[in-house]
Structure formats: C-alpha cells, structure tokens
Structure 1
Amino acid sequence: MMEQWIAQWQAQSLWEWTAVLLSVGYIVLAAQANRWCWVCAFLSTAIFSVLFFDVNLLQESALNIYYLIMAIYGWWHWQGSSEQQQLPIIRWPVKNHVIGAAIFGSIALISGFVSDVYFKADFPYLNGFTVWFAVYTTFLVARKVFENWLFWLVINPLSAYMFWHKELYVTCGLMAVYFIMSLYGVRTWYIKWRQQDESLSTCSAY
C-alpha cells in the first residue's frame, strides 16, 4: 500500500507541482496581507483550471476561472491610495455572513443537482459546497474582510477529502498547508486589524 502511494505521489504532473508551489506562495503572502499574493494566485489558478477539468471536477475547474478574475480584482483593490497607505483590513457583521451563507448554500444545492443529473460529475454536492463557498470567501479576501479565514478553515479540509479520493495527492497536501496557513492568517490579520487606526477599523464594509 505504501509503495503504491509513493509511486502515485511521484507520478503527479509537473504542472500540478508548479500550481501547488504558486498556491503556497499565494497563501503565505495573503496571510501577510501582501498584495503580490494575487500574482501567484493568477498563475496557479490558470494551471488548476485545466487540471481539474481533466479529472472531471467540473465545478472546481469553473471555480478556478473565477479565481483568475478575482486575482485581477484583488490586485487592483488591494493597492490602496499609496504604498504607505495600504487597503485596511475590515470586519463584517454576522448578519452579512448569515445572508451570504444562505444565498451561496442554496446555489450550491442547485449546482450540485445540475452537476449530478446532467453532467454526472464526481462529488457533485460536496464539490458544489466547496466551490460556491470558495466564491464567497474569495470575494471576502479581495475585499480584505477578516472573516474570510474562518470560512477557509471549513472549506480546506472538505476539499482535501475530495482531492484525496481523486488521487490528486499533491493538491490534497496543499489543502493541509492552506489549513495551517489559515490559522496563521486568522492570527496575523487580527493583529493587523487591531493595530489599525480606530477610524479605519470601524469603516464600512462596502
């Protein structure tokens, strides 16, 4: 069993490894609130969109096309007014997240049904959940909303389970790294948020 696992691990494509390394660069820089994270995000998601399509995770592939767009938006939005005055980290009220979860949870159920019945995709409902909540959470990252890290703490383990069963072991390992870095992101962003000027920490979420 161990020899088979090692052989499968070594057989992962160079492209997957490249995408994973770029994704690690993204999460490390994002946890530090560094704008250059979006460059790594753009390159890694371009590769992943093709890889996921090849293994019939159709919703995951579509998600990465969305990530490409959000990488461009995030790069633009995080620039702030100057190098010295970066975009501040903000927090949204619980009500906003409850509404967001209700909307994207409903979309995930519909998406899962369509993927299951019409496209015969693998893990249709689980993939629908991870995809649509990742859509919501990535938007939170692009807006520099602190609570994005709390959502990733749920999404990443579920994604890891799915990738393991699809034998995307390198990508599965990436989800483990993402989970650890999300814990780091919670701590780092909270400290940065507390250090901001009082007027910035209470600014509008929109």
Structure 2
Amino acid sequence: MSIYEILGTVLGIVGVWLMIRQNVWGWPVGIVQVALYAWVFYEARLYSDALLQLFFFAIQAYGWWHWLRGEKDEGGVTRTQPAALPVTQLRWRGVLGWIGAGAIATATWGELMRRTTDAALPHWDAFILVFSLIAQWLQARKRLECWAGWMIVNVVAIGVYWAKDLRLTAGLYLVFFGMAVAGHVAWRRSLATSLGH
C-alpha cells in the first residue's frame, strides 16, 4: 500500500460523494484522484487500468466543463447563469448499443493486451477499462444508467484488485459499489422530480 493509493482512495470517496449530490466540485477532485491512480495501476502492471486513468482525466475535464456550462434556453442561447443539468435516461436501444459496443471493445482490447504485453488479468482489466469509460461518459452526460454501469464495474474491480493484492483499492471499490447504489437512488429521485412524479 503506497501513499498514492491511500490519497487516491480518500479522494475517490470524496469525489463520488460529490457526484451523488450532483456537485460540480466532484470533477476537479476526480481529476486529482485519477492522476494518482494512474501511477498506482502502472506499478501493479494493470496497464489497461493505468490507461483508463488518462481517459478519465479527459472525461473528468469534459464533465466539469459540461456541468458548469449548464443547459441552454429553448432558443439555443446560453443563459447568463447556467441552470443545473437535469438527470436524464437512455432509451432501451441506447442501453443495448452501449452494452454491445462495450462487449466488442472489451474482447478486442483484452486480446490485444494478452498478446502484446505482460498485463495481469488482461481481459478482466479490459472490461474495467471499457465499461468504466462508458459509465464515466454517461455520468458526464448526467444519464441515470451511469450508476448501473458503475455497480457492474465495481463488482469486477473488487475481484481484480483483490487478486493483485491491492487490498485498499479493492476496499475502495466495495465502498464505490455502495455509493453507486446510493447515487442511483438519488439521481432516480432527481429524475422523478424533474418529470413531475
């Protein structure tokens, strides 16, 4: 267990807590957290997870910008004070599309990592990479389904990180699983409120 893993763990919990509350400060906290975890995963030879942190960095920056920008008026003019982005849901076709694309990308990336690197658990690591990117993108777009994605990723990640002796990180992802459930409940309430239910 390194100081980077400890700091990344603490910032990860704070960042997800802020996301559950739909607080824009979750994005800059997340940026620092993923920078720390890029090093942790590189040292553990979980190369897909290390690469994932670089993608997370970019998506975190986008999410921060997107949430700060807010919604546009009906005429397409940006308001002087941005309105909070509402939580929305994908249609079933969108959900199935993301799952299908994720499965293909996981198989392709996992096989590439198996053949070309000394990656530990390349296919499981690829699953975490691909489906985390999908969940992070959906979160940046404020789609309710991001939390279901995070729940699934967290279950896989707990096993992978435990197997690689990253016990604190496995514990973090157990906490993340609980937080993903809480995030789903909170965002579902927000969606119901915005729809007037």
TM-score, normalising length from structure 1?
0.88
The CA deviation string for residues 75-119 of structure 1, in whole angstroms up to 9 with x for no partner, is 010121566721111111011011111112101101111111110
* Superposition deviation, residue 181 in structure 1: 0.5
With over 3 angstroms needed to count, the CA separation of the structure-2 counterparts of 1:93 and 1:82, relative to structure 1, is farther
Structure 1 segment 1-206 matched on structure 2, within 5 A: 12-79=1-68, 80=70, 81=79, 85-196=83-194
The CA deviation string for residues 182-202 of structure 1, in whole angstroms up to 9 with x for no partner, is 11011100111111155xx9x
Structure 1: 5+ residue runs without aligned partners? 1-11, 202-206
The CA deviation string for residues 29-72 of structure 1, in whole angstroms up to 9 with x for no partner, is 11111111001110000010111111100000000000101111
Q: After the TM superposition, which segments of 4 or more aligned residues of structure 1 sit over 4 Å from their partners?
A: 81-84
The farther-off stretch of 79-88 and 54-63 is: 79-88
TM-score, normalising length from structure 2?
0.91
The CA deviation string for residues 2-38 of structure 1, in whole angstroms up to 9 with x for no partner, is xxxxxxxxxx111111011000011101111111100
- Aligned to 1:192, the other structure's residue is in SS state helix
- Aligned to 1:78, the other structure's residue is in SS state helix
Cα RMSD (Å): 1.5
- Aligned to 2:38, the other structure's residue is in SS state helix
Q: Match of 1:192, as an amino acid?
A: S
Q: What is the CA–CA distance in structure 1 between the aligned matches of 2:126 and 2:132, rounded to whole Å?
A: 10
Q: Match of 1:184, as an amino acid?
A: A
* Aligned residue pairs, count: 188
* Superposition deviation, residue 120 in structure 1: 2.3
